[in-house]
Structure 1
Amino acid sequence: MKSPAGEAGEPGLILIQIDGLARTQFERALEAGQLPFLRKLIRRKHFTLETFYAGVPSTTPAVQGEIFFGVRAAVPSFQFLRRSEGRDFRMYEADSANTIEEELLEKCPDPLLAGGHAYSNIYRAGAETRYCSRDFATSELFRRLHPLKLLVFGIIYLPKLLRMVVLSVIEFGLAIADALRGLYDREDVFKEITFVPARIAVCVVLREAIRFRVLLDIERGVRVIHANFLGYDEQAHRRGPDSAFAHWSLKAIDSAIRDIYKAAADSRYRDYELMVYSDHGQEKSTPYVKLHGRELDEALREVFATGPLAGTEIWSRKMSEFLGSTVDRYRQWFGASRKPPVSEAAPDPGSQIVVTAMGPVGHLYFPRIPEDGAMVGYARDLVQKARIPLVILPKGDGGVVRAFTRSGEWKLPEDRAEILGKDHPFLDEAADDLLALAAQPDAGDIVFSGWSPHEDPLTFPLENGAHGGPGSEETRGFLLVPDRIRRWHVSHLANTRQRVRGEDLRQIVMHYLGRDGKREEFVPEMAREVPTGTLRVMTYNIHSCVGIDSKIRPERIARVINHFDPDIVAVQEVDCHRPRSGGHDQAQLIADHLRMNHVFQTMLGENEERYGIAVFSKYPVEIVKAGLLTEAVPNRYREARGAIWVKLKQEGGGHIHLINTHFGLGKQERFQQLRALIGTGWLGSIPEEEPVVLCGDFNSGPRSKVFRMLTGLRDAQSQVHGFRPRPTFSSVNPVLRLDHVFVSKHFDVKSIEVPRTPTAVVASDHLPLCVELSLREPS
């Protein structure tokens, strides 16, 4: 397959979802070495780890509805009664997912993945190529498959297919060992055996297929790609979120992410960024039947044996039929479902009490609504007789939403701490989301949950890990935000909440893709002054925006700068309208991305082509002087060298002087440039009482004549106690200190940063030097 010609002007984005991995388990896996590649990127500060709040219900259909369409609580749970159709919906079924997605598209005509590709999701979300729930209907699969295409595919990709076979054999051995362990723990024999092929399908075949397709998409230059890895979630359902078998699956997922990341970094057509997140976590849970010795529907028959609903038939899917959803899901996807038993016949909401409880959240739908007193009685009996931890009455007298637990009766949201626990990490938001869930059109007349802050979580199917309710772990996922995106994310979202939820992630992605309408032309504010306090200064030789991978990426340079949020930036080796760098005005492009003012000074110019240095600033600058220090001289100096001198106005009066320069390669050349710089035309004319910052690429080390002659200024890297000065060249293997920031006596140096993030290493042949300064009070 040929790659697209040329280079795309718009950046691409790859979203990786690790389904069901709570932040707690993610951090545990990092420490245990089960996610070595992601751990390396976090330690190198390519990613910032943040908390992702799943909302309630904490299920993939609800969370993806919020991320892809911006709609909270798109569904009331994974299984529910679709009131308008009187039909039982299970969100892994193609027709159920299709119906809900059509409804979401009416509310949001701009789905997140429009024009992109999606794999293993609930919804297509506008993706052109997708393998999601609605695509696994038998008719859809047969329509797509063609014998000749399969044959050609098998021949071309035979090595990859053989790799998948080998991995499947290994996984089969592990699955058998896991099944034997289950039998030892007295699990059901049939369920243990039927889980083996499902485990191979999810943990190997599906994962490898996703890896392969995403790599192809990167080669083709697809702009937005979303892939959901299900292996951990399914293992966690079966054995528990902290089980060794669930965590074992993370190693292979980490390996797949590594391959995707490297392919994206090597893409010559499009500049990709990668984000990794989990849509929710899981609670370590006890199945209802194991805890109480009877099925849920049996307990419900006892509760509804009296009162106005006495004698009403109860419809439910037998809880013991659930196999952590895995086997059931893949039977449905591949059209291999057995004939459903009587208990799975279509419900009759007009005459039956309909029960849906596929997870730790359940709903009760009544053919007729009893009066309020009877509803309260049923709610109390559900807690006391059926031993359900949390019961919610969505529609009580006066519109009050009431909750019932073993410790009493409460109101939402006032009594949130008693209902959810005062230590719940998202107490206020989870309480609000429970209110919204109660008002969801397809929510039950009674909503119940296995969550309690005072006892171990409960789930209604046969599973050891569960999610869907308001629990502290099931609502707590994680998000890895790359350095390129973090600055806007922190500035524009209410990050004081210390979490990101689905609608926030959607906003972040839409902004990055330029689809939020907020990329209007930047008009600098010319009335601002530098506030008292700290001043962050960066110097950076950007090598004409040509990275060590030979790609010309001004936006990548802006990404590196953005990560450190400097107030003023001095850059060297900047091209303007030069054919060798794509004819762009690099200073203008970078300034637009940074949303800063900028000044450019030409060191070399011929016709429209120019080459020089620049200064970017958050604050208005006054250009004092910009010009050459030495002219280019044949057989002596290879190119002209110069400097830019600007002033920034301080809050309360006074100015700060900053000079950016780039010295030559020859020793004698640098000596001449330094003499000019310290002379009366430049530094020598600045009054002693005014603060000065001198920075740039001096092509000189700390033992050079440059250091000895700059007697009135101090090397910033040597001013921090206990800090060992760091080299900046070359970026791949930094051994030389060529880039420097010198400051006058008016400043204290607070901190020094020389980043070695993956982006900084590849963006230029130099690393940036970022210095945080504090202006001393006048004595």
Structure 2
Amino acid sequence: MALSPEIRALFGWRRVLGRVRAVLRSAVTTFVVVTVTLWLMPGVAGTDIVDTLGLVVLVAAVGAVLRPLLLLGITALGGWGAMLFGVVTQVAVMVVALRLDPANRIRGLPTLLTAAILAVIFAALLDWMADAGSDDTFVREARRLMRGVRRRAARRAGGPLFTLRRPRPGTEPGLLVIQLDGVAEPVLRWAVRAGNLPILGHWLRSGSHTVRRWHTGLPSTTPASQAGILHGASRQIPAFRWFEKETGKVMVANRPRDAAVIERRLSDGRGLLRDGGVSIGNAFGGDAVTNLLTVSHAALPGRSARGWAAFMASPYGFTRALVLGVAEVFTELHQARLQRRRNLRPRVSRSGAFLALRPASMLLRDVNISLIAEQMARGVPAIFCDLVDYDEVAHHAGPARPESMRQLESLDRMLGVLERLSEEAARRYHLVVLSDHGQSQGSTFRQRHGETLDEVVERLTAPDTAAAPRELAEEQGKRDPDAEPPTAPLLVLSSGNLSLVYLTRFPYRVRRAQIEETYPRLIAGLAAHPGIGLVVVADEDGPVAYGPGGGVHRLRDGVVSGPDPLLAYGPRARADLLRHQEAAHVGDLVVISSVDPETAEVAAFEELVGSHGGLGGWQTDAMLVHPAAWTVTGDLDGPDAVHRQLAEWLVMLGLREPARPALTTGDRLHPGDLDRDRSARLSPSRD
């Protein structure tokens, strides 16, 4: 009797060889780990190799029984419960195996726990070294997850209860958008030309994709860009943090409570991800049906996100990321020490909270890739995910420094991982890679001038604010003790080299004449400061930009007197500033640091060597990598324009209804463009 295709596939020599290789590798890894662990444990009597081999078998047996049960528990818990339970999963397997060891070499719970933790750490490091630092094991685990998701989906759709057949790749189109946070277009091009980004470099050199620059405008921040890209509403956000006079509240866009309020303002039900899309790791949801690790939704993935549970339970998931993340802390300490020894400038402190950000960003990256893999297996039409690794490191190291470039190289590897996972996807996903802004480098404002911008403002307004502490104290005594503390009469909120200054005692936006009446030295003093390049204020005839040397530029009509303060900021500066003046809750004064005309360095008002938020340098030069056959129909000036372009592509792919009933020739892409898109999708490759 002839064997069925499923049986032949199951016992094909490639699959059998792969299973044998995996079993042997696992056995060797466990043997080495157990041997080293027992050798390191004080007071543990040595035994022969037969006992150790027996313990290897016992570990495998316990893992085969216990790990699926723990996975069910993790899946049921979801969220933080899954994370906490996932931490102990691998340790629990090792503790049970060592406790059942017939040789009874380790006694007592504290010793068992210590030995188990050491074994888990050694296993993670050994697996990483066995893969030569690659992501092969991670890919295999993700593929296993994706196949399981697709088989369960097939059963729910009325398929057989059990099948040996490998799910076929999907043929319907899908869109996967990966945001590489903070990567400037010139930095990306330089890294590709240097040969440091093999995945993106191959796409560009093969002609499957092309890269273009898009202009973020002001503010050049993630919340503003994502408000535009995902919702087409960037003018709702004037900076990373701002003050709202109507409510008396300071809004910070990466604070979940504030982000939820902001998203309610942004959403009109027509966001980029409205038609069954998924948001992963973003600031806002884009009206997605599913939001995972999205700040505005302030929740970890729940029980329905099996990818979250599988990542937490897998020895190649959370445990691997945790161990390698700790290694990142030591790497960061070493890199910071090298900067100090070489007296590299500009530089800032890289200790404190930033040390925790390095392993956290690595963990978040791997979690995000696992969640993307699961959603690709589910066949959702559109996925948008933000990967923040490069941006976090570049803030403290510098956007083009070696450690930042290594983070960019690791993100390029993640694109390769997604490429390899595409053969398990339920759709034929096309990939778009973009950034939300760039970064500009420079010594900070405080490093250059010995004082912060807040201190400069306080000095320039001192005569008018001398009585403020007493007045505030009196007002505080009248307030509800549970209410928020009173706001200072003059508030400075900085985002990179952009700062918004608010006269909080006025419930409306204050014009120039009233500011000068209240604080006569403020505008002129700020404009004359060597660390400040622009001070923008509303006037009777529209907004006016003041700069050094008495330069004045009337933004509405473009009339300039004295040295033009906008020259150093490029040809789009006037339009950027005018658009920014129309943003909700913009400051009474908008202050932007000076920019060096030779080096394009800026002076961040925060303690960041790489910054973004304002104008100057590469911070407004974002990038967009897209299939070469796809047409860009307009000037990508601002994140709202990128939103419209992505929506156009979704319509072209048949994933979104057109926004307009009729279109003229050339305004819309045609389905025939997909036929010319030979390899623009994620091209599958096999291990």
TM range (shorter): 0.5 to 0.7
CA contact (8 A) 2:394 2:401 kept: yes
- Of 185, 207, 223, which aligns to 1:45? 207
Q: Give TM-score, length-normalised by structure 1.
A: 0.57
For 1:63 and 1:18, how far apart are their aligned partners in 2? Answer: 13
1: CA distance between counterparts of 2:348 and 2:682?
A: 54
Letter in 2 for 1:226: F
Matched-pair contact (CA < 8 Å) for 1:314–1:352: no
Structure 1 residues 212-257: Cα deviation after superposition (integer angstroms, max 9, x where no partner) = 1111111111211111110111111101111111111012111111
- Equivalent residue for 1:408, pick from 551, 558, 568: 551
Structure 1 residue 158: Cα displacement: 2.4
Structure (1/2) with the larger strand percentage: 1
User: Would you say the 8 A contact 1:124–1:132 is kept in 2?
Assistant: yes
**TM superposition score normalised by structure 2:** 0.64
Q: What aligned pairs does 1:632-643 form with structure 2 within 5 A after superposition?
A: none
- 1:33 CA displacement: 2.6
Deviations 1:450-501 (A, max 9, x none): 14364731111111011011224111011011135x13x3xx3358x89994
Corresponding position: 1:502 with 2:642:
yes
CA distance in 2, matches of 1:237, 1:401: 31
Report the secondary structure of 1:73's partner residue: helix
Matching residue within 348, 351, 372 for 1:192: 351
Amino acid across the alignment from 1:55: G
1:298 aligns with 2:439: no
Deviation at 1:87, TM superposition (A): 1.0
Please tell me whether residue 355 in structure 1 is matched to residue 513 in structure 2: no
Residues 469, 451 of structure 1: alpha-carbon distance in 2 compared, 3 angstrom cutoff: farther
Correspondence 1:276 to 2:433: yes
Alignment correspondent of 2:622: 477
Corresponding position: 1:120 with 2:281: yes
- Aligned match of 2:526 in 375, 378, 382? 382
76, 79, 95: which one aligns with 2:257? 95
How do 1:759-770 residues align onto structure 2 when only pairs under 5 Å count?
A: none
For these two proteins, the number of residue pairs brought into alignment is 493
What is the DSSP-based 3-state SS (H/G/I as helix, E as strand, rest coil) of the residue aligned with 1:2? helix
Per-residue CA deviation, residues 282-301 of structure 1 (Å, 9 max, x unaligned), is 11122111011122222111
The answer to whether the 8 Å contact 2:431/2:680 transfers is: no
Q: For residue 580 of structure 2, what is the amino acid of its counterpart? A: L
Cα distance in 2 between the residues matched to 1:182 and 1:523: 57
Relative distance call for 1:259 and 1:83 in structure 2 (3 A) is: same
1:2 corresponds in structure 2 to: 149
1:109 aligns with 2:280: no
Q: Distance in 1 between matches of 2:370 and 2:408?
A: 18
Write out per-residue CA displacement over residues 630-670 of structure 1, whole angstroms, 9 at most, x where no aligned residue.
Answer: xxxxxxxxxxxxxxxxxxxxxxxxxxxxxxxxxxxxxxxxx
For the Cα contact (< 8 Å) 2:536–2:545, is it kept in 1?
A: yes
AA paired with 2:589?
I
Q: CA deviation at 1:183?
A: 5.0
The letter for the 2-side match of 1:384 is A
Structure 2 Cα separation of the partners of residues 760 and 467 of structure 1: 31
3-state SS of the aligned residue for 2:200? helix
1:160 lines up with 2:317 in the alignment: yes
Output one character per residue of 1:151-192: Cα deviation in whole Å (capped at 9) or x when no partner: 974785223334324532442332221232355459999851
Amino acid corresponding to residue 447 of structure 2 in structure 1:
K
Q: CA deviation at 1:200?
A: 1.1
CA distance in 1, matches of 2:531, 2:587: 19
The answer on 1:63 being equivalent to 2:225 is yes
Deviations 1:343-369 (A, max 9, x none): xx95634x6111111321111111144
**Which of the numbers 198, 216, 226 marks the counterpart of 1:54?**
216
Q: CA deviation at 1:309?
A: 5.6
Q: How does 1:218-367 map to 2 (within 5 A)?
A: 218-264=376-422, 266-267=423-424, 269-306=426-463, 311-312=467-468, 348-349=486-487, 352-366=489-503, 367=505
Would the aligned equivalents of 1:403 and 1:419 in 2 still touch at CA under 8 Å? yes
Contact 1:313–1:353 (Cα < 8 Å) also in 2: no
Deviations 1:53-89 (A, max 9, x none): 1121111111111111111322110011122221111
Q: How far is 1:422 from its partner?
A: 6.6
The structure-2 alpha-carbon separation of the partners of 1:193 and 1:150, relative to structure 1 and needing over 3 Å to count, comes to: same
Q: Determine if contact 1:312/1:353 at 8 Å carries over to the other structure.
A: no
Would the aligned equivalents of 1:118 and 1:129 in 2 still touch at CA under 8 Å? yes
RMSD of aligned C-alpha atoms? 3.9
Partner of 2:285, secondary structure, is: coil
Measured in 2, the distance between the counterparts of 1:151 and 1:522 equals 42
Q: Secondary structure at the match of 2:527?
A: helix
C-alpha spacing 1:154/1:310, structure 2 compared with 1 (3 Å)? closer
Which of 589, 592, 602 is 1:446 aligned to?
A: 589
Residue number in structure 1 paired with 2:367: 209
Task: Give 3-state SS (helix, strand or coil) of 1:419's partner.
Answer: coil
Query: How far apart, CA to CA, are the structure 2 residues paired with 1:459 and 1:275?
Result: 31
Which of these two proteins has the greater Rg computed from alpha carbons? 1
Distance in 1, matches of 2:348 and 2:207, equals 47
Q: Does residue 20 of structure 1 match 2:20? A: no
1:499–1:359 distance in 2 versus 1, CA, 3 Å: closer
* Contact in 2 for aligned 1:97/1:122 (Cα 8 Å): yes
Q: Partners in 2 of 1:28 and 1:559 — Cα distance?
A: 29
Tell me which amino acid in the other structure corresponds to 1:419: P
Aligned position for 2:105: none
Give the C-alpha shift of residue 508 in structure 1. 3.2
Report Cα offsets for 1:325-348 as digits up to 9, x if no partner. xxxxxxxxxxxxxxxxxxxx9563
Equivalent-residue separation in structure 1 for 2:312 and 2:179 (angstroms) = 31
Q: CA deviation at 1:518?
A: 6.6
Query: 1:301 touches 1:314 (CA, 8 Å); kept in 2?
Result: no
Q: Output the amino acid matched with 1:299.
A: V
Report the residue type matching 2:566 in the other structure: L
User: Could you list the per-position Cα deviations for residues 544-568 of structure 1 after superposition, in whole angstroms to 9, with x for gaps in the alignment?
Assistant: xxxxxxxxxxx999446445xxxxx
1-structure distance, mates of 2:259, 2:404 = 27
**CA contact 1:54–1:502 (8 Å) conserved in 2:** no
Cα separation, 2, equivalents of 1:391 and 1:557: 49
What is the DSSP-based 3-state SS (H/G/I as helix, E as strand, rest coil) of the residue aligned with 2:409?
helix
Distance 1:267 1:447 in 2: 50
Query: How much identity, in percent, do the aligned residues show?
Result: 24
In 2, Cα distance between equivalents of 1:129 and 1:229: 15
> What is the alpha-carbon distance in structure 1 between the residues aligned to residue 256 and residue 309 of structure 2?
28
Q: 1:469 to 1:190 in 2, by over 3 A?
A: closer
Aligned runs of 1:121-136 on 2, under 5 Å?
Answer: 121-127=282-288, 128-136=290-298
- Distance in 2 between the 1:42 and 1:396 partners? 48
SS in structure 2 of the partner of residue 473 of structure 1: coil
CA distance change for structure 1 residues 302 and 201 in 2, over 3 Å: closer, same or farther?
Answer: same
Distance change in 2, residues 1:241/1:760 (3 Å): closer
Provide closer, same or farther for how the CA distance between residues 75 and 248 of structure 1 changes in structure 2, counting only shifts above 3 A: same
Q: Distance in 2 between matches of 1:199 and 1:761?
A: 31
Question: For residues 747-769 of structure 1, what are the alpha-carbon distances to aligned partners after superposition, in whole Å with 9 as ceiling and x for unaligned?
Answer: xxxxxxxxx7466999xxxxxxx
Q: After superposition, what is the alpha-carbon deviation per residue over 1:558-581, rounded to whole angstroms, capped at 9, x for unaligned?
A: 446445xxxxxxxxxxxxxxxxxx
Gap change, CA 1:513 and 1:390, over 3 Å in 2: same
